[in-house]
Amino acid sequence: MSELLRCENLTKNYGSTTALDEINLSVENGKIIGLLGPNGSGKTTLIKLLNGLLTPTSGEIFVNGKKPGVETKSVVAYLPDNSFLYNWMTVEQIVDMFCDFYADFRPDLAYKMLLQLGIDPTRKLKKLSKGNKEKVCLILVMSRNALLYVLDEPIAAVDPATRDYVISTIINNYNHDASVIISTHLIADIESILDEAIFINKGKIMLHKTVDEIRDENGCSVDQLFREVFRW
């Protein structure tokens, strides 16, 4: 049992706006967790903090027991909601780059997935369609053998068939030592693969339970509860 993410009274302010307000959170290994909340709830801020792209205003955040930095970056695999690709490279070149920087990267898995999705590795990234770019981003992240996967809206910008592929890939990739945090609004599509759900709003965590607890206690799906809770 290891704690892959820990937040202690984590606060992040942007000027006078509080994006995260004294968040306390713990994520163990071997879980698939949904980070669910409306826009502006603080999801993206939390994700950026855990990736070391932002520094806390106060409080602490630990990834696998360490503060975000070079060491944590080698065990975190992040899929942002926009393409992060260096468009001037070809698919092969960016796969090589991931091999270079990440000891846990599995190139054979990456090539297998590229083949399955019909993406030609010799193509230049800038020539790919938006959908294909998203697929390449996903393949690069899922081919890592990381401890913590952080997926920001992994299925929002892809077609339904690809959504199924993304979900199968997440399930297939599951291993007991790692955890996956999925931040999304498309709860209905993703809730069956979740172990736990975190509801976040206005920088505060409103709920952190296992999904079956939610279903038993409320007699409805997580998606339905979400709509109830976040009704206008």
Partner 1 sequence: MKWELDKSRAICPQICEQLCVGIASGELESGAKLFSVREVAVSAGVNPNTVQKSFEQLEQKGIIYSIRGSGWYVGDDTSAAKEMVTKLISEKTLEYFTQMKALGLDETEIKQYVKEWQE
Partner 2 sequence: MVGKLFKHEIKYYIRSLMFVEIILFAVALMTRIIQFLENDSIIYDIVFGSSVIMLVITTLAAIFLIVVMGVVRFYKNLFSHEGYLTFTLPVSPMQHLFVKLSTYMLFVIVTVFSILVALSIATFGDVLVELVKAGAYLFEYVGDRIGHLSLIMYAVEFILLLLVSVAQQMIIYYFCMSVGQLTGKNRIWLSLGVYFIIYIATQVFETILIVIYSILDSANALDGIIDYIGNHIEGCAHFGLWFMIVFYALVSGVYFLVSHRIISRKLNLE
Residues that bind partner 2 (CB under 8 A): 48, 51-55, 69-71, 73-74, 76, 78, 80, 82-86, 88, 97, 100-102
What would the two tokens of residue 75 be?
Answer: 């065990």
Displacement of CA 133 from its chain's centroid (Å) = 17
Indicate which of partner 1, partner 2, none lies near residue 48 (CB less than 5 to 8 Å, by partner kind): partner 2
Least distance CB 69 / partner 2 (angstroms): 7
* Nearest residue to 31 (alpha-carbon basis) of 207, 180, 172: 180
**Residue that is written with structure tokens 């998606």 in the block:** 223
Binding residue for partner 1, selected from 83, 223, 229, 230, defined by CB under 8 A: 223
Phi, psi of 27 (to 5 degrees): -125, 125
Does 92 bind partner 1 (CB under 8 A)? Our answer is: no
Compare residues 85 and 193 and give the one whose CB is closer to partner 2: 85
Q: Give the list of residues 6+ apart from residue 175 with CB closer than 8 angstroms, or none.
A: 30
Q: Could you give the CA distance from residue 126 to residue 85 in angstroms, rounded to a whole number?
A: 9
Strands 58-63 and 76-79, how do they pair? unpaired
Compare residues 5 and 211 and give the one whose CB is closer to partner 2: 5
Does 211 bind partner 1 (CB under 8 A)? Our answer is: yes
Q: Could you give the CA distance from residue 164 to residue 149 in angstroms, rounded to a whole number?
A: 18
Least distance CB 228 / partner 1 (angstroms): 12
Compare residues 92 and 189 and give the one whose CB is closer to partner 1: 189
Least distance CB 73 / partner 2 (angstroms): 4
Binding residue for partner 1, selected from 111, 174, 202, 207, defined by CB under 8 A: 174
